[in-house]
Amino acid sequence: MYKKIAVSLACASILFTGCATTEIQTKAKMTRTIFLDPVAKSQRTVFVAIRNTSGNDLELEDKIISGLKKKGYRVVDDPANAKYILMANVLFADQPNPMKF
């Protein structure tokens, strides 16, 4: 009888352990700054691929492309024609707190 109860409890705990969380949890942080060597203006080409899996409508890609163009970079559609490749995936984006500065 003890064996049946022990096995049942073990199976139940294993079964429900996987259901403890349903959201992706990441604690990804940038660990170091990346510096790029300066290049000639003709070589300032970049391929941009931004994904947003956070569920929030951020419209980041347009803002990033605009910022790169202001810095003198030309955005290309083919990564083979780019000197740099910028790829990002936004996993989490919290709502801004208007009380924080």
pTM above 0.75, yes or no: no
Domain ranges across the chain: 23-101
Instruction: Tell me the per-residue pLDDT of 16-57, one tens digit each, with 9 for 90 and over.
Output: 665 555 565 555 566 677 788 888 999 999 999 988 888 877
80 phi and psi, to 5 degrees?
-70, -25
**Whether the predicted pLDDT of 83 surpasses 80:** yes
pLDDT at site 45: 95
What percentage of the chain carries pLDDT values higher than 70?
A: 63
Distance CA 94, CA 54 (A): 9
